Structure 1
């Protein structure tokens, strides 16, 4: 019995020395963001000034740098809409945490042709998101249109998603004007909030709830987690300016980091997208969609917590690059995306 007891103590001591640390949920997010990327993909739309500009396009970086790009599918849309308004804007792509598939979500809106004003579109627009999924960036599911906003909403614009490891669900968020239930014609005064719902499969969603309500119009929210600072960083367009905030939790207290990001360099901007460098530790890239002229303007920082962003140089972007997502991909995924032909 004594020998067995001593042996047990020895095993316990050895196991305590070699115990393996459990990765934090935030570290898991950071791992997926960098994804040992060998290249970048870019999903975007081209704007209402072109007859097919409100469809979904892809590009692949020419190297492991986001400076220059090759368009996919000969520069033609890869995903086109046959449902709802038959227009697609603001595409966002996210990788499933298992790594087994990608989801693309987009605004269901068509402005080409001038059949409606922006005010009309924001009061009587689509309440649904356009959604696709793919296992490899080469083959894509059929489009589906899923209603996420309540009948009291005027639209569902600029959707994005963040995986929440604490709940094991995606937090999906978008901008909606909200009206009182009695205002069935949506004629009253209103402003856009950021709504959210949760999902595990982008097929069924929880009941939408307000996430960000500033008492004034807010849109184009995007979120990234920075492991170096331990903060989520959130970028939104509010009162015509890009606001950067930070919080240790998605539904925690958010503090202002900077307001008017990119204004000094580029004037009026919207549609922020943010991504972590595949190559340089701690370097973040922020692209802002210009209003006049339209098109993305890249910035970067080596310290996201500082709120100081410097204009990037040497960029050659695809034609007519508008609001979308840049995402890290492997060499195989880059080859798959480059080979798309539809």
Structure 2
């Protein structure tokens, strides 16, 4: 009986290890793949945020290659303010150029919303249908401000737009959150649909394809989607992580796909496992020097804004730990972080440091 139990234990242990390897592979998290994320050419990080009472674009630069220690640029003043729409921009995200624009162009897109001029109810019923866009070829000069309408009049709002280069399509996939009202309710006074994630494709952030639904978890409301390539050093990789907020339960969780942006997405741990509750606006970025580590900013919107978390198993909803906040600024709200090389780091520091 003892020998049988030992054999069974060894057999079970071997099966579990085998299953673990299979599961890890299915998530695209091989050690050799994760090792590619550490890049010695990267010298730091650029953070793009808005501040609670100030819906404008602010830049923060990391202190060297420290991913959780940042300083305000431009003496803490906005890099720019919108002149169109509501005059306020929330949720700014910086989009690195893809394809022929890689390393040559960057975009900042954001939500057209100044909550100081409206209410949260009105902002969801009769909010802006457009997204702000700025572009730059050097991260210093931001030009061609535009407010591009992406939804029709049945939409109540367009919130938290982000974009990612889709290697399968050869265009940028732009996504945002919207809710909709029936055509029989043109004044949007009745009950809307649940909030879902919508998307469109663009090559220039001026002309967009007809929007379609990307994520619909009705009756659950989903907002604040952000997508992180699992293998950014491979421009043709079809493996991604996507973080989003369950607006109904006020939680953030992560899903993984190794079959493209429209492939099969898996939520590790099941449909009820989360990273954190009482937060929104997830912003994820790879560590420049530690292979396999991802940093995740979560906006504690009822408190002090963004707090940094980290994990070396980013495809999992468990195991995320709070990072040290010794060098982390308070009051930063929903935005994004992008790694920069020494040339860009020096340029940003010289201009606004």
Instruction: Return the alpha-carbon distance in structure 1 between the equivalents of residues 38 and 292 of structure 2.
Output: 12
SS of equivalent to 1:257: coil
1:55 matched residue in structure 2: 56
2:48 aligned residue: 43
CA positional deviation for 1:120:
0.9
Of 204, 218, 221, which residue of structure 2 is paired with 1:217? 221
Aligned residue-pair number:
306
Q: What does residue 333 of structure 2 align with?
A: 322
Displacement, 1:313?
A: 1.5
Query: Is 1:309 the equivalent of 2:311?
Result: no
Kindly indicate whether residue 171 of structure 2 is the aligned counterpart of residue 169 of structure 1: yes
Q: Tell me the equivalent position of 1:235.
A: 243
Per-residue deviation, 1:34 = 5.7
Cα separation, 2, equivalents of 1:83 and 1:176: 20
What is the deviation of 1:32?
9.5
CA RMSD of aligned residues (A): 2.4
The Cα of 1:262 is off from its aligned counterpart by: 4.0
The match for 1:287 among 273, 288, 297 is 297
Task: Specify the SS of the correspondent of 1:333.
Answer: helix
Following the alignment from structure 2 to structure 1, what is the Cα–Cα distance between the partners of residues 202 and 334? 23
- Residue equivalent to 1:274: 284
TM-score normalized by structure 2? 0.81
1:149 paired residue number: 151
Give the distance between the partners of 1:217 and 1:204, measured in 2 at CA.
28
Q: Cα deviation per residue 1:288-321 (whole Å; 9 max; x = unaligned)?
A: 0002213111111111123321111144223421
Residue in 1 that maps onto 2:130: 128
Residue 153 of structure 2: SS of its match in structure 1? coil
* More off after superposition, 313-322 vs 194-203: 313-322
Mapped contact 1:138–1:339 kept (Cα < 8 A): no
Residue 300 of structure 1 pairs with residue 310 of structure 2: yes
User: Secondary structure, in 3 states, of the residue corresponding to 1:278?
Assistant: coil
Name which of 245, 251, 255 aligns with 2:255.
245
Quote how far apart the aligned CAs of 1:330 are. Answer: 1.1
Could you say what secondary structure the match of 1:146 adopts? Answer: strand
Candidates 99, 102, 105, aligned match of 1:101: 105
Question: Are the counterparts in 2 of residues 85 and 110 from structure 1 also a CA contact under 8 Å?
Answer: yes
SS at match of 2:184: coil
| 8 Å CA contact retained: 1:38, 1:64 | yes
1:23 paired residue number:
none
- The SS at the match of 2:315 is helix
SS of residue in 2 equivalent to 1:91: strand
Q: Residue 339 of structure 1 corresponds to which residue in structure 2? A: 350
CA distance in 2, matches of 1:161, 1:105: 8
Structure 2 regions of 5+ residues with no counterpart? 1-31
Structure-1 separation of matches of 2:243 and 2:149: 25
Which moved further from structure 2: 182-191 or 296-305?
Answer: 182-191
Partner of 2:188: 186
* C-alpha distance in structure 2 between counterparts of 1:182 and 1:340, whole Å: 53
Change (3 A) 1:34 1:109: farther
Superposed CA offset, 1:110-168 (max 9, x none): 012xx422111011000111110111111111311111112211111001111101110
Provide the rounded CA distance (Å) in 2 between the counterparts of 1:168 and 1:212: 21
Question: What is the correspondence of 1:14-29 to structure 2 with a 5 Å cutoff?
Answer: none
